[in-house]
């Protein structure tokens, strides 16, 4: 079971978490728990680490440490009053470490990807001992483990690392023996390289941690506890009548999370899918709601489109040139140049004339992508590279679209009627996702138009 930032935001929330765990523990369920940082803490850590190398003085450090101390100590005092003397010094010591590391970054005027990962893992480091103490307070034995101790060994790609294939055996060996006696409380979001260097798994990475651990111990089920009743037809902050979807396939959730549905980390389905483990998404604050069940093949459903999502921080690159027509190797030159600079391409579309290739990349990678492509201009392989930051990508997801003619027509007719201009279209061969690019300001409206077009606010069993 994984509990997200809102689920552990304060002592009251942690009380709800412990209620849930206690209920399952009493039933005799063996549980492993993954926790993320308290809501907002990872953001604070990312923010300060970005500012320190260039800030004139280190005056931001003390207030941050003080606020983390106040928040975590009061959570501890309220959630586990009997454990202040045992756990309080652990938190103080970690805050002192964090304080020293932040000063080191400031003194060196340098933040390496390695030091950044180490710093931003402190949200989880500070919180996990409090959740474990809250369990102990209720008489439930627990053990705290960081991601590395739990056996999550990752690639060296700091900030976006992935679990190595041999994790299962290590996790099994480390976690299984604990389950019989107590509940392991594992720090999400973090792991380490084979050399023991701390890594992080990307924003929202605790979902991924939970799935890695679940696959490692061959869990019967993986439960993601969050602050909404389940995965919804769209982001409830954009669509106020979005509904919870009772059942989704692994593939559908992968498509949704990859295209920005913040409710799950994009990689979090992979480990569960590999072991065919059922995943549930549930609300910590409404635990009797059945939530969303994620399985390999969901029951047949008359709905063609299940959910919509959009991703804002992307940029489009249009590559044009008549010399690209019928010339083998152009696509290779473009994608090799981007791959060499580690630019991830999120969407690709090629006009049938072959004189144009359009790509979508993460906005943060746009400058590197442009630099990578500029030699192709001087070599005459392409004529122009045009970039556009004012775009967003919308994804229409549903495995019912596979082999169902007419969905594309409905999507683009509805958008056309609403006066929304579609700049790029892409459909993968899996056919469970049709994605397209519109102007940034049209994104939320495009989602609303399609939510209505496919009647997604109507009850699923209607
Ligand atoms: P946690 O801290 O529990 O991991 P997150 O904030 O990362 O929670 O993710 C839950 C949030 O994701 C919800 O509060 C909701 O605003 C947002 N969200 C975006 N898209 C969806 C969707 N399709 N279904 C449900 N929630 C979504
Ligand atoms: N604390 C991390 C983040 O904010 C991981 C997570 O919440 O899942 O991204
Ligand atoms: Mg999350």
Domains of the chain: 2-224 (3.40.1160.10), 307-453 (3.30.2130.10)
Categorize the per-residue pLDDT at 2 as very low, low, confident or very high, splitting at 50, 70 and 90.
very high
For a ligand 2 pocket test, name from 38, 45, 204, 225 the mutation site with the most ligand atoms within 8 angstroms of its C-beta. 204
* Residue range 103-112: mean pLDDT, rounded: 96
Better-predicted residue by pLDDT, 403 or 22:
22
- Cβ of 376 closer than 6 Å to ligand 1, yes or no, is no
Quote the pTM value. Answer: 0.93
Start-to-end Cα distance in the chain: 32
Q: Look at residue 7 in the predicted model and tell me its pLDDT.
A: 98
pLDDT tens by residue, 388-438 = 999 999 999 998 887 778 899 999 999 999 999 999 998 876 778 999 999
Q: What is the mean pLDDT of residues 324-342?
A: 89
Report which ligand 1 atom has the smallest distance to the Cα of 233. 23
Q: Is the pLDDT of residue 96 over 80?
A: yes
Q: Is the pLDDT of residue 197 over 80?
A: yes
Instruction: Find the mean pLDDT for residues 95-106.
Output: 98
> Do residues 66 and 112 lie in contact, with contact meaning Cβ atoms separated by under 8 Å?
no
| Distance between Cα 65 and ligand 1 center (Å) | 28
The span from the CA of 36 to the CA of 187, in Å, is 6
Q: Round the average pLDDT of the chain to a whole number and report it.
A: 94
39 Cα–ligand 3 center, Å: 10
pLDDT digits (tens, 9 = 90+) for 347-390: 998 877 778 899 999 999 999 999 999 999 999 989 999 999 99
**Ligand 1 centroid, distance to 436 Cα (angstroms):** 22
Q: Does any ligand 2 atom lie closer than 6 A to the CB of residue 224?
A: no
Dihedral sign of CA atoms 243, 248, 251, 254 in order: positive
Confidence band of 260 (pLDDT split at 50, 70, 90): confident
For ligand 2, whether the C-beta of 454 sits within 6 Å is: no
Give the model confidence (pLDDT) of 202-250 as tens digits: 999 999 999 999 999 999 999 999 999 999 999 999 999 999 999 999 9
Residue 231 CB–ligand 1 contact under 6 Å: yes
37 within ligand 2 shell (Cβ under 6 A): yes
Could you tell me the distance, in angstroms and rounded to a whole number, from the CA of residue 43 to the centre of ligand 2? 9
Q: What's residue 429's pLDDT?
A: 62
What is the spatial distance between Cα 119 and Cα 101, in angstroms, rounded to a whole number? Answer: 7
Kindly report the length of the chain: 462
Residue to mutate, 4, 41, 228, ligand 1, most ligand atoms under 8 Å from C-beta: 228
SS (H, E, C) the chain: CEECCCCCCCHHHHHHHHHHHHHHHHHCCCCCEEECCCCCHHHHHHHHHHHHHHCCCCCCHHHHHHHHHHHHHHHHHHHCHHHHHHHHHHHHHHHHHHHHHHHHHHHHCCCCHHHHHHHHCHHHHHHHHHHHHHHHHCCCCEEEECCCCCCCEECCCCCCCCECCCHHHHHHHHHHHHHCCCEEEEECCEEECCCCCEEECCCCHHHHHHHHHHHHCCCCEEEEEECCCCCECCCCCCCCCCCECCEEEHHHHHHHHHCCCCCCCCCCHHHHHHCCCEEEEEECCCCCCCCEEEECCCCCCCCCCCEEEEEEEEEEEEEECHHHCCCCCHHHHHHHHHHHCCCCEEEEEECCCCCEEEEEEEHHHHHHHHHHHHHHHHCCCCCEEEEEEEEEEEEEECHHHCCCCCHHHHHHHHHHHCCCCEEEEEECCCCCEEEEEEEHHHHHHHHHHHHHHCCCCCCCCC
Indicate if ligand 1 lies below 6 Å from the C-beta of 261: yes
Task: Give CA–CA dist 20/7, Å, rounded.
Answer: 11
φ and ψ of 393, to 5 deg: -105, 135
The mean pLDDT value for 137-160 works out to 97
| Largest interatomic CA distance in the chain | 74
In percent, how much of the chain has pLDDT > 90?
85
Which atom in ligand 2 lies closest to the alpha carbon of residue 206?
Answer: 8
| pLDDT band for position 462 (cuts 50, 70, 90) | very low
Please determine, for residue 264, whether its predicted confidence score (pLDDT) is greater than 50: yes
- Whole-number Å distance between alpha carbons of 138 and 156: 39
> Quick check: CB of 35 below 6 Å from ligand 1?
no
User: Rounded to whole angstroms, how far apart are CA atoms 302 and 151?
Assistant: 42
Say if residues 204 and 159 touch (Cβ distance below 8 Å). Answer: no
């Amino acid at each position: 079971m994984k509990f997200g930032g809102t689920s552990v935001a304060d002592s009251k929330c942690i009380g709800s978490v412990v209620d849930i765990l206690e209920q399952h523990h009493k039933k005799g369920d063996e549980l492993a728990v993954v926790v993320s940082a308290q809501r907002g803490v990872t953001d604070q850590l990312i923010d300060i680490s970005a500012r320190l190398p260039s800030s004139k003085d280190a005056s931001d450090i003390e207030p941050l440490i003080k606020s983390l101390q106040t928040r975590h100590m009061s959570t501890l005092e309220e959630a586990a009053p009997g454990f202040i003397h045992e756990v309080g010094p652990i938190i103080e010591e970690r805050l002192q470490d964090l304080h020293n590391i932040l000063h080191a970054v400031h003194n060196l005027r340098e933040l390496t990807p390695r030091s950044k990962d180490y710093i931003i893992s402190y949200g989880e480091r500070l919180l996990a001992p409090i959740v474990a103490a809250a369990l102990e307070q209720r008489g439930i034995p627990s053990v705290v483990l960081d991601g590395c101790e739990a056996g999550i060994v990752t690639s060296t790609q700091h900030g976006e690392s992935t679990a190595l294939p041999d994790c299962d055996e290590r996790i099994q060996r480390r976690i299984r023996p604990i389950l019989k006696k107590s509940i392991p409380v594992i720090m999400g979001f973090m792991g380490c390289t084979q050399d023991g260097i701390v890594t992080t798994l990307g924003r929202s990475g605790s979902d991924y941690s939970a799935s890695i651990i679940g696959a490692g111990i061959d869990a019967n089920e993986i439960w993601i506890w969050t602050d909404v009743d389940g995965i919804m037809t769209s982001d409830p902050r954009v669509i106020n009548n979005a509904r919870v979807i009772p059942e989704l396939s692994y593939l559908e959730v992968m498509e949704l999370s990859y295209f920005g549905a913040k409710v799950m980390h994009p990689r979090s389905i992979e480990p569960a899918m590999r072991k065919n483990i059922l995943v549930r998404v549930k609300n910590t604050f409404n635990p009797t709601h059945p939530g969303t069940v994620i399985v390999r093949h969901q029951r047949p459903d008359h709905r063609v489109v299940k959910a919509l999502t959009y991703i804002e921080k992307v940029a489009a690159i249009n590559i044009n040139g008549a010399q690209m027509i019928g010339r083998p190797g152009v696509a290779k030159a473009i994608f090799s140049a981007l791959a060499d600079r580690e630019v991830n391409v999120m969407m690709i579309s090629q006009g049938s004339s072959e004189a144009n290739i359009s790509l979508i990349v993460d906005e943060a990678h746009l400058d590197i992508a442009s630099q990578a492509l500029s030699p192709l201009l001087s070599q005459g392989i392409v004529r122009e590279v045009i970039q556009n930051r004012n775009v967003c990508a919308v994804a229409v997801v549903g495995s019912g679209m596979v082999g169902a003619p007419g969905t594309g027509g409905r999507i683009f007719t509805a958008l056309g009627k609403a006066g929304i201009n579609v700049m790029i279209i892409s459909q993968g061969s899996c056919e469970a996702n049709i994605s397209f690019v519109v102007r940034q300001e049209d994104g939320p409206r495009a989602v609303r138009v399609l939510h209505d077009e496919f009647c997604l606010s109507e009850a699923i069993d209607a």
